[in-house]
């Protein structure tokens, strides 16, 4: 990000700041992840005037992604975060306004994920249903993520039988399609569920 800033490559700066946030999230350092997402949003706000009109949709897609990932990190910090719900809701509005199918599917994923961590089962179920409705247009990785969301929601609600069914289905799907990153998440979910350590929110952190 520093090198890109020195060359005036604003897209690379924003991607660098985003990756920092993703790294903190992967380490379960959610407070730092939220701060890093905020840094990316501030940089985008301060530099948005430098982008052409033709780039505005792409810029808004990026902004929406940062908002919803930030919201999910907030939801992982605490189940009582109105700011988390607001960030995800704002990003969903941006995705609907732009109308890019892949961006909409990603917004559905994060909306379901946020609903799960916020214990808003109605929201989680609604967006999980929308993902299943768009199943035919999804690539294998996004389908694996959808199965993973089903497993997480079942664990969060204490539905162990449904959770195991989803985990086993997801593991078979990942194996048959070579989706190693999502296979890791299913393995972690299985290990967490077998260990029984922690509460439901901790069990779905992978």
Confidence check: pLDDT of 13 > 90:
yes
The confidence score (pLDDT) of residue 145 equals 98
**Average pLDDT, integer, range 167-196:** 96
Phi and psi at 116, nearest 5°, equal -65, -50
* pLDDT at residue 206 is higher than 90: no
- Residue-wise pLDDT for 39-98, tens only, equals 999 999 999 888 888 898 899 999 999 999 999 999 999 988 899 999 999 999 999 999
Which pLDDT score, from 0 to 100, does residue 197 have? 83
What pLDDT, on the 0 to 100 scale, is given for residue 95?
Answer: 96
Q: Choose among 71, 63, 61, 159: nearest CA to 117.
A: 71
Confidence at residue 100, expressed as pLDDT on a 0 to 100 scale: 95
Q: Calculate mean pLDDT across residues 18-36.
A: 96
pLDDT for the residue numbered 194? 94
Q: Which pTM does this prediction carry?
A: 0.93
Cα of 72 vs its chain's centroid, Å: 6
- 96-151 pLDDT, tens digit per residue, is 999 999 999 999 999 999 999 999 999 999 999 999 999 999 999 999 999 999 99
pLDDT at 183: 97
Give the pLDDT score at 103. Answer: 96
With a cut of 90, say whether residue 21 has pLDDT above it: yes
pLDDT for 196: 87
Q: Which residues contact 12 (CB under 8 A, 6 or more apart)?
A: 1, 4
Rounded mean pLDDT of 160-180? Answer: 97
Tokens of 66: 């940062």
| Half-sphere exposure at residue 10, Cβ-oriented, CA atoms within 13 angstroms | 15
Q: Please enumerate in sequence order all residues whose Cβ is within 8 A of that of 28, keeping only pairs 6 or more positions apart, or say none.
A: 76, 205
């Amino acid at each position: 990000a520093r090198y890109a800033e020195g060359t005036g490559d604003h897209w690379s700066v924003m991607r660098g700041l985003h990756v920092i946030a993703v790294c903190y999230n992967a380490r379960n350092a959610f407070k730092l992840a939220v701060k890093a997402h905020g840094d990316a949003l501030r940089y985008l706000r301060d530099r948005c005037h430098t982008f052409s009109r033709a780039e505005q949709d792409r810029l808004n897609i990026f902004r929406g992604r940062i908002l919803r990932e930030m919201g999910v990190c907030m939801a992982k910090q605490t189940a009582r975060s109105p700011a988390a719900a607001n960030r995800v809701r704002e990003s969903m509005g941006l995705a609907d306004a732009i109308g890019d199918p892949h961006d909409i599917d990603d917004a559905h994923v994060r909306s379901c994920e946020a609903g799960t961590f916020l214990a808003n089962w109605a929201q989680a179920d609604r967006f999980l249903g929308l993902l299943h409705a768009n199943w035919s247009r999804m690539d294998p990785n996004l389908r694996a993520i959808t199965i993973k969301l089903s497993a997480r929601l079942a664990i969060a609600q204490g539905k162990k039988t449904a959770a195991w069914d989803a985990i086993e289905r997801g593991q078979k799907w990942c194996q048959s399609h070579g989706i190693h990153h999502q296979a890791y998440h299913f393995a972690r979910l299985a290990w967490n569920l077998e260990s029984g350590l922690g509460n439901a929110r901790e069990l779905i952190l992978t």
